[in-house]
Structure formats: C-alpha cells, structure tokens
Amino acid sequence: MAESLRNRVSQIIVGSVHALIDKIEDQAPEAVMEQAVRRVDSVIDEVRQELGVVAANRHLAQRQHAELNRRHLELTASAEDAFALNRDDLARAAVAKQLDLEVQMPVIEGTLQDLAKQEKDLSGYIDALTGKKREMQDAITAFQASRARVASATGVSASTNNAQVKVDEASAAFGRIFERQTGLSIGDQKLSVEQSTKLKELDDLVQTRKVEERMAQIRASKS
C-alpha cells in the first residue's frame, strides 16, 4: 500500500475531531461534516482499487507457483524415465532444471505471503473506514436533530446561533466518535444499553471469525 494512502487512512481513523470542530466555527457545520464523509468515501475507493490490484497479483503468483510445482513433478518423472533408459545425460538435464525451479519457488512463496498480508491489511482498512463513515453519518444526523431542537426552543433559525453554541453542539455530536476512536472522553456521554449489547455482539462475531480462520489454517496444514 502506498505510504501516502496509508497515512491518509490513519489520519481518518485515529485523527482527533478537534481540527474539524475548529473549522465549524466559521463555516457551515453540516457542509464541513458532509465534506469529511465524502473524503472518507474517496479514500475507500482508492483502497478498494489497490485491493483489486493486490488480489489480481496474488492470483497470478498462485498460478505461477502451481505451474512451477507441476513442472517440477514432470521433471521428476522425466529424470526417472531417462535413468531407466540409461540416458544419464537427459536425467542430468532434468535434474538441473529442477534445481533452477527450486530456487525460484521460495521467491514466489515469499511474494505470495507479502501479497496475502497486503490484501488482509487493505481489507482491514476498508472495514475501519466504512465503520468510521457510519459513525460520521450518525453524527451528522445527531447534529441536525440538535440544531432543530435549538431552533424550536429559541424560535430562531439555528444558523443565527453564535460561534460558541455551534462549537458546543458540534462537540456533543462528535463526542461519541472521539471517545470510541481514541479511548478519551470529551464529555459525559455513555453508550446506551442497546448500543453496548450490539457492540458486544459485534465483538463476539469478530472473535468467532478469527477462531474459524485459525481452525481453517490448522486443517489446511494437516491436509
């Protein structure tokens, strides 16, 4: 994964909301937040494109590795046939070619491992970015609802509120995102019982998937 794209993903996932809240003071809050969501969408598209390239390269490497194995087996049979016919010269040529293939195999295997890791990392980035996008969209909805309540209570348009009110409302809307992403609280918000139950269920599903993946690896190594 290109380092610049990796950095952009990291900034989105672990970045503080304070920089965004600062901008809200002098700009339309909803426009700023929606722009941030579009930025996440753009990065997701880039990661998906790179994931496609990596997956294609891994597929090609797998085919090449399979072809080398097939050729190696054929050369073994050819060498045995040559020995049976007392053609040591032909057997020697077959063995020499086998040695060439055996040198190439570790290189391709290393490439496969690297591509598999890249594919796993990129898939993880997409999952993380998608989750971040959902949180941001939830924050926009919460922000819009809070502005509507303010306008209803005061009898004035929310756009006429002073900058401090805007910052306070934006901070409340984004507080949940900040806390879950950094582990630090910028308010007294707490997850509801329903949210906590859903998050626990999600954690259990992720753990189950990891266990099944590990079991599949063990079964593959035993087969």
Neighbours of 129 (CB within 10 A): 20
Distance (Å) of CA 51 to CA 33, 47, 143: 27, 6, 34
- Tell me how far the alpha carbon of residue 19 is from its chain's centroid: 24
The fraction of the chain above a pLDDT of 90, given in percent, is 21
Write the pLDDT tens digit of every residue in 147-177.
Answer: 777 666 655 544 545 555 555 555 555 555 5
Instruction: Name the token pair of 80.
Output: 């045995």
Q: Would you state the pLDDT for residue 35?
A: 79
Q: Would you state the pLDDT for residue 191?
A: 46
Contact criterion met (CB below 8 Å) for 90 and 82 = yes
- Which own/partner contact pairs does 100-103 have at CB distance under 8 Å and 24+ positions apart? 101/68, 101/71, 101/72, 101/75, 102/72
Q: Would you state the pLDDT for residue 170?
A: 54
Q: Would you state the pLDDT for residue 173?
A: 54
Contact criterion met (CB below 8 Å) for 13 and 129 = yes
Contact criterion met (CB below 8 Å) for 143 and 169 = yes
Angle, CA 81 vertex, CA 78 and CA 83 arms, to 5°: 110
Render 9-23 in DSSP notation, one character per residue: HHHHHH--SHHHHHH
Q: Would you state the pLDDT for residue 195?
A: 60
Write the pLDDT tens digit of every residue in 114-146.
Answer: 999 999 988 888 888 888 888 878 877 887 787
Render 134-146 in DSSP notation, one character per residue: HHHHHHHHHHHHH
pLDDT tens for the chain, residues 1 to 223: 566 767 767 766 655 444 555 555 455 667 777 777 888 888 888 889 999 999 999 999 999 999 999 999 998 898 888 888 888 888 889 899 989 999 999 999 999 999 999 999 888 888 888 888 888 788 778 877 877 776 666 555 445 455 555 555 555 555 555 455 445 454 444 444 456 566 677 777 887 887 778 777 767 776 6
pTM for this structure?
A: 0.54
SS3 27: coil
Render 49-64 in DSSP notation, one character per residue: HHHHHHHHHHHHHHHH
